[in-house]
Amino acid sequence: MDDVEGYKKDALLEIRSVNKSYGSLQVLTDINLKLYRGEVLALLGVNGAGKTTLSSLIAAVHPVATGDIVYQGSSIYHDIIAYRSIIGYCPQKISDGSGMMTVYDQLWFTGQFFGITGHVLKDRIDDILKSFSLEEVSDRRLGELSGGYRQRFALARSVIHLPHIVILDEPTVALDPHVRRQLWNYIKQMKSQGVSIVLTTHYLDEAEYLADRICVLFHGKAFFTGTAQEWMAVSGTSRLEDAFLRMLSRGDDI
Amino acid sequence: MKNIIAQMRVFASLLYWDWSMLRRLLASRCINTCVWVIVNTVIAGYVLPVLGVTQQFGAFIVAGLCGSMGFFELYGRVIELVRDMTHDKPLLYFATLPISLPLFVMRLIIGNAMSSTMTTLCVFPCGKLVLGSGLDLSGVNWFLLVPFLLLVNILYGAAAVVMGGYIKDLVYVSNVWIRIAYPMWFMGCYQFSFQILNEALPFIAFLNRFNPIVYIFEGVRALIMGQQGFLPIEQCFFVTFVFCIVFIVWSVRLIRRRLDLI
């Protein structure tokens, strides 16, 4: 299902037979997945399905138990530092300790982390503030901002160094519907700039709106990988939510 | 080589980040330190001598406070760390930056040490202000004292990471504090010297040989008040250095295991 129509091109990132466990708890089992250049891949599943674990493996935070993650033909573990410099990570929550610093300062530091300095960094920050409509709050402390602004900042921070891959871990969780819509537009905008995006979400409408392909995780296994339309066709439903519920109702038979 | 330079750049930027955060809180932390130092020194220098304690006790306590500021900051540091390592684990964001695990942990340690070193430096003027001629700083070997205090605060910084690495949730922080940290500090020669402890309770003194805080207090006092009556400064330096290395290695291993990092 990986090489669906429209994506017959080289994979930017390949997840090969990845397993992950915590003690005796098997979290991910034999995950095989490809991420193509400029696509949005949504990881779907109920709580505990392994979405966040898989996204953090892609973000090179945690090691795999077995298997490999390959970026442009070579294992990311051969040069993890180089790999980390081409990814952007947007966590569910920003550290409370960062709340003292202004939006501008935080973006400045993030640029520094990735070796961007001087006028280049200044111009980049100006672009980012404009693109994510953060200009009006640039000199405000992060701790003073609303949840929507904070998450918008987190998105902006994840792309300041022009990464090839961005990992968004439930970026719209607990946000108002209109704020979620705003963030969707920013994610679309990121995609239009050629960034490959791994989006972890449990909002099916979000996946349907944003994702080129979805990977449905169930009990730590990749239950389905393909487009949302394909999954609905396979499930014999006309709505993504129905396909999801059908999967859940089959439970352990899967 | 390119990677090492890139990592050092991230490391330096993270420390600069910590410094920028600290700068915003520095005045408030210095005021806290001054209040604590003044209260302790007034009691030790003017109240306790009325009860028969030596006149030098004020200076003795000021020296002890120099070795204690990192300890007092531990509690807040551990809370911050545990908070950032539980639930949504916001600390993990920094683990996605192009930096190796040992440098990632060293940044946590040095970030802690920077803060406590700054507050430690406030102890001297406050102590002098309260005790006046009762605190003689003319014989202090600053070339040894400053590096020793840096080493001490790095050790406290690493201890904060070790404690944070073991504590599973914020509700348990006070348990570790009351059951382990405070006893180590109280028995660690804050209010008496190791020599006095050895005379009074030799077995406790023997056990205290394994308590790093003893070497911190004895070393600081030897450097401020003179060598006589305290453990040799060379020994204090060496043991503090060894504890420092042990705690740093321990921190890296613990954080790797706790957060399951690469």
> Would you list the DSSP string of B197-243?
HHHH-HHHHHHHTT-HHHHHHHHHHHHHH-STTS--HHHHHHHHHHH
Mean pLDDT computed over every residue of chain B = 94
Residues of A in contact with B259 (CB under 8 A): 61
Q: Taking CB atoms and an 8 Å cutoff, what residues of chain A touch B96?
A: 59-61, 84, 87, 89, 167
Nearest to A89 among B20, B96, B99 (CB): B96
Q: Note whether ipTM > 0.85 here.
A: yes
How far is it, in rounded angstroms, from Cα B158 to Cα B249?
9
- Per-residue pLDDT, B261: 95
Asked if the Cβ–Cβ distance from B16 to A93 is below 8 Å, we say no
Contacts of A56 in chain B (CB under 8 A): 92
* Phi, psi (rounded to 5 degrees) for B121: -65, -20
CA contacts within 13 A on the Cβ side of B136: 6
Would you give per-residue pLDDT tens digits along chain A (254 residues)?
444 444 546 799 999 999 999 989 999 999 999 999 999 999 999 888 999 999 999 999 999 999 999 999 999 999 999 999 999 999 887 766 667 889 999 999 999 999 999 999 999 999 999 999 999 999 999 989 988 899 899 999 999 999 999 999 999 887 888 888 988 998 999 899 889 999 999 899 999 999 999 999 999 999 999 999 999 998 889 888 888 888 888 765 54
Per-residue confidence (pLDDT) for residue A147, from 0 to 100: 87
Closest chain A residue to B17, measured at CA: A109
- CA-derived radius of gyration, chain A: 18
Tell me if chain A has a CB within 8 Å of the CB of B52. Answer: no
Residue A29 and residue A57 in contact, taking contact as beta carbons nearer than 8 Å: no
Say what the pLDDT of residue B1 is: 72
Q: With 80 as the cut, is the pLDDT of residue B57 above it?
A: yes
The answer to whether the CB atoms of B90 and A96 lie below 8 A apart is yes
- Alpha carbon of A164 to those of A103, A159, A161, B23: distances in Å? 23, 9, 9, 35
Question: Among residues A96, A68, A91, A63, which one has the least CA distance to residue A200?
Answer: A91
B88, A91: Cβ pair inside 8 Å?
A: yes
Tell me which of B15, B16, B17, B93 to substitute to probe the interface with A (most A C-beta atoms closer than 10 Å). B93
Return the HEC string of chain A. Answer: CCCCCCCCCCEEEEEEEEEEEECCEEEEEEEEEEEECCCEEEEECCCCCCHHHHHHHHCCCCCCCEEEEEECCEEHHHCHHHHHCCEEEECCCCCHHHHHCEHHHHHHHHHHHCCCCHHHHHHHHHHHHHHCCCHHHCCCEHHHCCHHHHHHHHHHHHHCCCCCEEEEECCCCCCCHHHHHHHHHHHHHHHHCCCEEEEECCCHHHHHHHCCEEEEEECCEEEEEECHHHHHHHHCCCCHHHHHHHHHHHHHHC
**Which residues of chain B make contact with A105, given a CB cutoff of 8 A?**
20
Considering only CB atoms, which residues of chain A are within 8 Å of chain B? Answer: 22, 56, 59-63, 77, 79-82, 84-85, 87, 89, 91-97, 100-101, 105, 109, 112-115, 167
Give residue-wise pLDDT tens across range B172-214: 999 999 999 999 999 999 999 999 999 999 999 999 999 999 9
Those residues with Cβ within 8 angstroms of residue B33's Cβ, 6 or more apart along the chain or in another chain: B69, B119, B122, B123, B126
**Which residues from A are below 8 Å from B21, CB to CB?**
97, 100-101
Q: What is the pLDDT of residue A3?
A: 47
Instruction: Please answer yes or no on whether B13 and A113 come within 8 Å at the CB atom.
Output: yes
- Mark yes or no for CB contact A79/B10 under 8 Å: no
Check B96 against A60: CB less than 8 A apart: yes
Q: How far off is chain A from B159, nearest CA to CA, in Å? A: 20
Q: How close B201 gets to chain A, by Cα (Å)?
A: 44
pLDDT at B83 over 60: yes
Q: Does B21 touch chain A (CB under 8 A)?
A: yes
Entry field: residues in chain B: 262
Task: Quote the pLDDT of residue A1.
Answer: 46
Question: Chain A interface, mutation test: which of B15, B17, B24, B29, most A Cβ atoms within 10 Å?
Answer: B17
> Closest to B98 (Cβ–Cβ): which among A59, A85, A92?
A85
Kindly indicate the confidence band of residue B50, based on its pLDDT and cuts at 50, 70 and 90: very high
Residue B79 has pLDDT above 90, yes or no: yes
Task: State the pLDDT at residue B3.
Answer: 83
The pLDDT score that the predictor gives to residue A9 is 65
A107: closest CA of chain B, how far (Å): 11
Say if the Cβ atoms of B98 and A113 lie within 8 Å: yes
